[in-house]
Structure formats: C-alpha cells, structure tokens
Copies of this chain bind each other. A is one copy, B any other.
Amino acid sequence: MSKPQILSTSLVAQSRLFRIEALEMEFRDGQRATFECLRNQGDGVVMVAAVDDDALILVREYAAGFDRYELGFVKGRIDPGEMAPQTAARELGEEIGFEPGSLELLRGVTTSPGYSDFTTYLFIASGLRPCPQEGGDEIEPLEQVRWPLGRIGALYDHPEVSDARTLFLLHLLERRLAAE
C-alpha cells in the first residue's frame, strides 16, 4: 500500500514546549486533506524502571494535566546533544540519587502516532549505587516510593498509576523478572 504524500508543512502555533504543524497530504486516490501534528521540541523522553535489590524505586510527581499526583518511574527529556542512555543515567541521579551499574534499553514506544512524533525510550536500571542527588529541573523534591518487586502486580490497579507507558513498562519488567 503506497503511503500518502506530504505536499507541504506549515507552522500553526508555537509555544515554549509545543509546536503545532499543519501537513497538506495527498492520498493515493488523489484526495487531499490537512492533518495537524504536534511536534515536541527535542528528541523525546526516557522512562527508567529503577530496580534496587528487591524493590522498585518509584517517584510521585505532580501531574499538571490532571491537577493530581501520578506515581511512576523516573523520567525526563533528552537534552540536546545527549544520547538516551545518558539521559537515563542523569535522571536517575537527579530524581532519586542513584547511579546505575547496568542500564538496558528495552524499546521505544509512541503515545499518539496519528498526530505526534513523540517517542519514549523505556529502560531498566539495576546495580544501583547511591550518588549525590543534584537538582535537575524539579520545582519541588520528588517523593520517592520503594515498592516491593513481589507486589508489582498491584501497581496496575493503583489509583495514581495511569500513564500507558508506565503500565506497559510494568508489563515488560514483569516479563523480565519471570524469565530470570
């Protein structure tokens, strides 16, 4: 099946974090349509499942989209010039004060591929060693939550866990732990 062609791209709106573009598309049958796309600045984000002995280290962070707290994994934006594993190691230090002995990229996932080019890279970090926690871009210190590995299953139904990326990383982590 031949792909639709992008005839032109124009800027609709730009803010500090977001850039909205309009794509003029032509489909195989000659039909044309305009698609709106959201371009996040930068190269995406990382999300890191931090495994410390028999526990996960989670963070509880204010989620402005819903005006409530969300419980999830360490995460953060890839800075210009960084590779995703560097971001993962930096965020572990900034958010929970650990450096990883081992850091494994599991895969990238998207969130709304129909209109956004945003990619999240999912990692597992283990062999954690304490390191000085140097402030990142957090406004308030993040609350850390140690969650026993034996109770991972309960996180799927935790009222503060809603992000599909977190939920799928839990699945990958469970599968990994079962295989070990």
- Residue positions of A touching B, CB distance < 8 A: 1, 3-4, 6, 12-18, 20, 22-23, 25, 27-29, 31, 33, 35-38, 60-70, 108-118, 120, 139-140, 143, 162-165, 167-168, 171
What are 27 A-B pairs with beta-carbon distances under 8 A?
Answer: A1-B60, A1-B69, A4-B62, A13-B14, A13-B20, A15-B22, A15-B36, A17-B36, A17-B115, A18-B18, A20-B20, A31-B139, A37-B64, A38-B38, A38-B65, A64-B114, A65-B115, A65-B116, A65-B117, A66-B110, A111-B111, A111-B112, A112-B118, A167-B168, A167-B171, A168-B168, A171-B171
Complex contact A109–B31 (CB within 8 A): no
The 8 A-B pairs with the shortest beta carbon distances in the complex, nearest first, are: A13-B13, A63-B113, A111-B111, A164-B164, A109-B164, A35-B64, A110-B162, A171-B171
- Cβ-neighbour of A15 out of B20, B25, B120 (below 8 A): B20
Complex contact A68–B3 (CB within 8 A): yes
Distance of A177 from chain B, by nearest CB (Å): 15
Complex contact B163–A112 (CB within 8 A): yes
Residues of B within 8 A of A140 (CB): 4, 27-29, 31
In the complex, besides A29-B140, A113-B162, 4 extra interface pairs with C-beta distance below 8 angstroms are: A4-B140, A18-B20, A65-B110, A65-B114
